[in-house]
Each structure stands twice: as C-alpha cells, then as structure tokens.
Amino acid sequence: MNEKKIQKIAKQVLKTESKAITGLIRRINKDFYRAVELISDCKGRIVVTGMGKPGIIGAKISATLASLGVPSLFLHPGEAVHGDLGRVTKDDIVIAISNSGQTEEITRLLPLIKKIGARLIGFTGNTKSLLAKNSTIVLNVGVQKEACPFNLAPTASTTATLAMGDALAVAVLTKKGFKIEDYAFYHPGGSLGKKLLKVKDLMRKGADNPIVNEQTKVKTVLLRITRSRAGCAVVVNKKRQLKGIFTDGDLRRHIESDSRLLLRTVAEVMTADPVSINKERLAAEALKIIKEKKIDELPVVDDFKRPVGLLDIQDLLKAGIV
C-alpha cells in the first residue's frame, strides 16, 4: 500500500470522526440542559461506568469532571457486581456509557442502581435500548458509522462520546460559576495551575516580611532584615501605607560614601515609591514585573496600598513559576 493511499485512509477517518462530532450539535436540547442541571445540583458524586473502549472514555470524562471541581469516580461495571457497587449512594448520579445500550455488564447494573436510588444518565447510540429505557436522562451519542473499515471497532462512536462528555463538563463548569482560581486550586502540581497561583499564595508574611516605619534607623532595619532572613525591608508611613523599600543595593550605594549611614533614618536612604503588586494578582504577573524591572523583591499590598507581604524571586522559582 503506497503513501497516497495511506494518507487517503487517514483523511477519511478524520472526516468520519469530525462528522460524528458535528452530528451531536443538533442533539444539544432540553435533555442536555436537564443533565447539566442534574449534575450541577448533585449532592453526591458523579459515578461514570462503561465497558471496554467506552469505559476508557468514561474514565476520561470522570477525570475531566473531577479536575473541574465536580466530585467524580470511575466504576468498572465488572467490578461493580463484585462489591464495588458499594461506592454508589442514593445521592450520586451515574453516567452509564454503552453505544448499543445493551452491553451485558451495564444492563445488569440497571436494576441495582435503581434500587440504590441513584439517578442515571445514559450515553448511548440506541435510544430504544434497555439503558435508554432505564435512564433518568438519555444523551444520544449515536453515529452513522464507525471510522473502522469493518464498521465494528469503536472509533467514531467513542470520539462522539468523549466530545459529548466534554460539552457536558464545560457546561457544568459554566453553570456552577467555576473560576480560574478554582482551576488553579485543583491543579497545584501542573504547569497551568502554577501559572494561575496568586501572589498571596506565595508571598512571605509575618516575621518573614520585615516592615519598618520611615523614622527607623538603618542599623535597626538591618537587624530586622537579618532576623527575617529577607533581602530587604518594606518602609511605611504613619498610615501603614507603602512609602519605600530598603534593599541590599541601597546599602551598597551608601555605605562607602556615608560614614553615618547606620545612624540615619531609613527614609533618607531608601528607594522611594517602589513598584508593588496587589496580593490578588497572579504570581505569573509578579514574575513578569520582577524580570522587567530587574529586581529581586516585590512588596505585596492590599487595596489600600498597605504592605501585607513580600515576594522574592526565589519564592517564584521554588514554586516553579518560570
């Protein structure tokens, strides 16, 4: 088989699967909305089950829901009848996936799920199947044909099921008011989640954030910096608002030319009106400021310009904000 024929086959597979997905658009109806409402109002968990390839797709749908703050788990239908059904409660919603709607491992769960009292959302391509008849809500994920040349291997059907699962998850995300901060909370170990961390999540505070008033002597400021193991001290006025910052650079600039440096007030030698960042801003924004301004420390302030923390370049590097 030559190269052109192989490419033709691949293109046909993509066309078939693309058609399977676009065919779902007209099925986004009241049943889909009811499914979104059901999941959004669920007091328990979303239990996803499916056998074989649909089960693999189900595991991904469950993982997507969980990553968006919707408690979810995947239940293998074979293991369910050997004790794992105990994971399902009356407060849960079960999403059962079967293209035929007649998969034996799925159909034998139907009366058991009903007995438990959990509601059931069926993903199927057969709206007259046992799964459809026993479901609270049916989402039709049927396709005209599989991408497999024998029209047997789950290909287009699993693609359509996955796409419908994504549509459902994103719709639930929107309805529940899921925010970018929530995404960061559920993805603390990933690069995306790290970029979504806020300044307040990483800043130094308390004893690790030396704050001094304008009249404090430089000698005292240096002692405060040493005790806190910081690289600078933040300077405030009588209203506790940010007025300046005293860094190692400020010390070096004055120490050779000023023999009385240690006796001076910090206001005389500090860097006035330093760049700062609000505690609610993203850590990635703080890194951008530090790089652009070529500084090592960044005072963190609240909405009233009062220092509430200190962000050091090392804090960002340790958190993986690069």
Do residues 292 and 218 both lie within one domain?
yes
- Tally of domains in the chain: 2
Average pLDDT over residues 185-192: 68
- In-domain check, residue 189: no
Q: Any idea what the CATH number is for the domain that residue 244 is in?
A: 3.10.580.10
pLDDT of res. 191: 65
Average pLDDT over residues 97-109: 97
Do residues 168 and 203 both lie within one domain?
no
Do residues 11 and 138 both lie within one domain?
yes
Predicted confidence (pLDDT) at residue 192 exceeds the cutoff of 70: no
Angstrom distance (rounded) from CA 232 to CA 230: 6
Do residues 142 and 12 both lie within one domain?
yes
Encode pLDDT of 230-240 as tens digits. Answer: 999 999 999 99
234 lies in which domain range? 199-318
pLDDT of res. 284: 86
pLDDT of res. 34: 98
The DSSP H or E segment spanning 272 is strand 271-272
Do residues 12 and 93 both lie within one domain?
yes
Mean pLDDT rounded to a whole number for the chain: 93
pLDDT of res. 259: 87
Q: Any idea what the CATH number is for the domain that residue 47 is in?
A: 3.40.50.10490
Average pLDDT over residues 61-86: 96
Do residues 42 and 88 both lie within one domain?
yes
- In-domain check, residue 287: yes
Predicted confidence (pLDDT) at residue 44 exceeds the cutoff of 90: yes
pLDDT of res. 318: 86
Do residues 204 and 240 both lie within one domain?
yes
Q: Read off the tokens for 22.
A: 């676009």
Do residues 9 and 118 both lie within one domain?
yes
CA distances to 73, 95, 132 from 226, rounded to whole Å, are: 50, 58, 70
Q: Of the candidates 124, 146, 178, which is a domain's last residue?
A: 178
| CA–CA–CA angle 257, 261, 262 (5° rounding) | 150
Do residues 113 and 232 both lie within one domain?
no
